[in-house]
Structure 1
Amino acid sequence: MAVLSRRRRAFTLAGVAALALAASACGSGNDSGSGSSNADKPECAPYAQYKVDKTKHVSIYATIRDAEADKLEQSWKQFEDCTNIKIDYEGSGEFETQIKVRSDGGQPPDIAVFPQPGLLATFAKSNKLKELPAPVKANLDKNWSKDWAKYATVDGKVYGVPMGANVKSLVWYSPGLFKEKGWKVPTTWDEMIKLSDTIAASGIQAWCAGIESGDATGWPATDWIEDVVLRDQGPDVYDQWVAHTIPFNDPKIFSAAERVASILKNPKYVGNPKTIVTTSFQEGGLPVKDKKCGMHRQANFYSNQWPKGTNVGPDGDVYAFYFPAIDPSKGKPVEVGGEFVSAFADRDEVVKVQTYLASGEWANSKAKLGDWISANKSLDVSAVAGTIDKLSVQILQDPATVARFDASDLMPAQVGSKSFWTGMTDWINGTKDTKATLDYIESTWPK
């Protein structure tokens, strides 16, 4: 789960209800007055193909919130000003639950940004989503590889276009603290464990984490499991696990989970593991900046969670290093994620927004705002801002990289965005051991 301040605290119930009603009204497609004269300005020439005569509204619902949501809305402001299409955006920490509620209630958003291909597939198979219109499909074919396109393909039909991408195999740290203590960035798993012991012995918490995320609580722990399965067992076993050709409670997955437990459930490294369950995803890594914690494993999108004014860089307040491989001779395993833009409606203005979001023009507009990358082939790498983004792109482009998409996002929704999350929460909380947790998740796999 990309993604994203992938999921911050949700709005109050009243606020969500109000926004839902607003989104429904805005998504009706009713005219709301004549178009703005902005559309006739010279800078609007690139948007001519998207222009409508009268103001139209398109609702978009996603998991992206806070600082990331602000940048998302900024990225399409020129589009709005030039086309007379107004985008009514809402981000929510309860997306996975509420998107079903809204769809079943007959009030889905015009466009949903799915962080899990498995969840997208559930809606596609229920005939809730629109197959990609021709102009959107043309941009998909032009700008993405077949590997990315297949994640939103269901029964031979394509229902979504990739949006952002993220690299999850990163560990955040304080360059200042490491310099003060003489600690070196580890390049292997064994070096990282040895460093963890050294940090713990110094009186500083070796690892910090937070998995609370509203209805999505538990997802950061699934990323840990996935990243380590890829390292502990390799890409072939990872693929078998995702496809369920081996069960969730296979000994190979048990081995990887126990390796994660040696860190996340180790009081020597994390203090009281139970506090991880009640610490929000957004706050989980903040002790790193205050030099109260040595390391925090989280994706490149976590750069949006640091307090305003934080210097992110090799010599800054915080930076990140590649989450080391267990056996470097087998390549550079990298877990990646992303979001997919799908539509519940096919009105002309909805298709135009979806087409724009699948374009290289939008990708470059978004990248220039920082803290964001994409697998869009029309993205100008020079437009990528921020040291973490550049590091992430370097990792993705490294010939040694063996990348795999977030496993829980590919699994059926009953598992990937439900039992895997809740199972990890119980596991970290200590109410279930590793075997019981994996047995429980396996029992929920759809027959």
Structure 2
Amino acid sequence: MTSSYRRRGLAAGVAILLGLGTTACGNAAMLSDDNPAEAKECAPYEKYQGHKGTKVRMTGSSRDLEANLLQQALRRFGDCTGIEIQYEGDAAFENTIRKNVADGETPDLSIFAQPGLLKDLIAQGAVKPAPAEVAANGKKGWNQDWLDYGSVDGTFYAAPMSASVKSLVWYSPKTFAKKGYQVPQNWDELIALSDRIAADGEKPWCAGIESGDATGWPATDWMEDVALRVAGPETYDSWVSHEIPFNDPQIAAVTDKVGSILKNPRYVNAGIGGVKSIATTSFQAGGLPVLSGKCTMHRQASFYAGQWPRGTQVAEDGDVYAFYFPAIDPAKGKPALVAGEFLAAFTDRPEVQAVQAYMSSGEFATSRASMGGWVSANKNVDMKVYSNPVDHLSAEILQDEKTVARFDGSDMMPGSVGAGTFWVGMTNWIKGASTKATLNAIEASWP
């Protein structure tokens, strides 16, 4: 999945008030003669003025640190325009937003990490088309592939926000240096390294897929990443769109390839337990044995940089770092699994459209990216903004001409599959279900 990519907060949920619009800057439009410095600070938000005293309610699955950083990125906008933005982070966002739509009690805006779920709600007529300014910002900032993820039948509904590179393997540079390991450049080297570590009596990999109602999504990421490498991007697209069935022999081969690592008792689950312990280990804790030296490698997305304990140095020569999950045949390109977030509106009041327009702009993306822990595929964000080494690595992958990027497959599938039977099926597979039974069950569930 991305998680969705935003299933990584530790708290059950939190509501945060953003940009109350009651500070001096919020009154800058009226007090510009008396407060020229404040007026200058608010000048970038002049085109969003005229909505003082209004409120906009926004929901999503980002919580904790992610929600706090979103607050910071929107604070000046809220202060300068006087728009009060109420953000509610919900660990069960996918289920909640469906219920909101069914009950007719939707928020004004929501941040979606699953285009499949978003398109389900668009099909129900719940989502408003993006206004002209948002569409213009989209064309300025993203390539057509990204815009298509937020579009249906040629109508643009949701502008991209963040992007996450999932094709990464976390490791300890100190452990690699101490034991003479080299970062693998292709799949064969990755397996050779795994075998070398196993031959030394250690288990090279650690993983965790428990995530509350979303348990199983990290295993779907493994499937998607390996599918890009084994089956190729064209077959990947056909699988995600169900042009080929979920239990196609090519997908069975992908599943078994994943199993050669995740269900290999010689390889997992270092520092935690056996193969089945993957299903009960939280995804947040799944990679921590890398830091203690009990585990050598952990495949997880770029956002995992925020899961390491406070004080952990994330750098090429630090406590932990990441390398690109290698291709089977690098000569055929650089497959990369990516995820992202999209902002969609359920109402079209002027103040809602103002917030929507700002959050689709390069200015907002630059503001949020400069805080770290957040990457955008928006080409108006300068690479120099990314001071965090993993953010910079991710942005390099996104901008590499050799990269063959595909969006997280489970996030593109119908919500009942991508955020349902696929998660459940992969969890049961880790617990011992066969490849055939797992894929047949998911195929049978396709709407």
Q: TM-score by structure 1 length?
A: 0.92
CA distance in 1, matches of 2:247, 2:404: 24
1:158 pairs, out of 152, 156, 159, with 156
1:43 aligns with 2:4: no
CA distance in 1, matches of 2:320, 2:242: 38
| Residue 34 of structure 2: aligned partner | none
| Residue 52 of structure 2: aligned partner | 54
Give runs of aligned pairs for residues 185-264 of structure 1, distance below 5 A: 185-264=183-262
| Residue 368 of structure 1: aligned partner | 370
Distance apart, 1:53 and its partner CA: 5.0
Larger displacement relative to structure 2 (65-74 or 126-135): 65-74
Residue ranges of structure 2 left out of the alignment (5+ in a row):
29-37
1:301 aligns with 2:303: yes
Would the alpha carbon gap of residues 136 and 49 (structure 1) be closer, same or farther in structure 2, given more than 3 Å must change?
same
Residue ranges of structure 1 left out of the alignment (5+ in a row):
27-31
Question: What letter is aligned with 1:424?
Answer: M
| Residue 341 of structure 2: aligned partner | 339
Distance apart, 1:33 and its partner CA: 9.9
Would the alpha carbon gap of residues 199 and 91 (structure 1) be closer, same or farther in structure 2, given more than 3 Å must change?
farther
Would the alpha carbon gap of residues 4 and 34 (structure 1) be closer, same or farther in structure 2, given more than 3 Å must change?
closer
Would the alpha carbon gap of residues 70 and 163 (structure 1) be closer, same or farther in structure 2, given more than 3 Å must change?
same
- Decide whether the 8 Å contact of 2:163 with 2:341 is kept in 1: yes
Q: Please give the secondary structure, in 2, of the residue aligned with 1:418.
A: helix
CA distance in 1, matches of 2:396, 2:22: 43
Residues 116-148 of structure 1, C-alpha deviation per residue, up to 9 Å, x if partnerless?
A: 111100000001111111221221122221111
Q: Please give the secondary structure, in 1, of the residue aligned with 2:214.
A: coil
Give runs of aligned pairs for residues 281-292 of structure 1, distance below 5 A: 281-292=283-294
- Decide whether the 8 Å contact of 1:5 with 1:66 is kept in 2: no
CA distance in 2, matches of 1:99, 1:420: 20
Would the alpha carbon gap of residues 101 and 180 (structure 1) be closer, same or farther in structure 2, given more than 3 Å must change?
same
Q: How many residues align?
A: 431
Question: What letter is aligned with 2:308?
Answer: W
Distance apart, 1:402 and its partner CA: 1.3
Distance apart, 1:224 and its partner CA: 0.3
- Decide whether the 8 Å contact of 2:51 with 2:83 is kept in 1: no
| Residue 417 of structure 2: aligned partner | 415
Percent identical among aligned pairs is: 55
Would the alpha carbon gap of residues 402 and 34 (structure 1) be closer, same or farther in structure 2, given more than 3 Å must change?
closer
| Residue 29 of structure 1: aligned partner | none
CA distance in 2, matches of 1:135, 1:423: 42
Question: What letter is aligned with 1:391?
Answer: L
Give runs of aligned pairs for residues 70-109 of structure 1, distance below 5 A: 70-109=68-107
| Residue 348 of structure 1: aligned partner | 350
- Decide whether the 8 Å contact of 1:62 with 1:95 is kept in 2: yes
- Decide whether the 8 Å contact of 2:61 with 2:90 is kept in 1: yes
Question: What letter is aligned with 2:331?
Answer: S
Question: What letter is aligned with 1:166?
Answer: S
- Decide whether the 8 Å contact of 2:6 with 2:113 is kept in 1: no
Would the alpha carbon gap of residues 33 and 71 (structure 1) be closer, same or farther in structure 2, given more than 3 Å must change?
closer
2:165 pairs, out of 158, 167, 174, with 167
- Decide whether the 8 Å contact of 2:4 with 2:411 is kept in 1: no
Distance apart, 1:229 and its partner CA: 0.6
Residues 7-66 of structure 1, C-alpha deviation per residue, up to 9 Å, x if partnerless?
A: 33452xxx77xx5xx99xx9xxxxx99854323112111112223453222222112222
Residues 347-391 of structure 1, C-alpha deviation per residue, up to 9 Å, x if partnerless?
A: 111111110100010010011001211111211221122111111
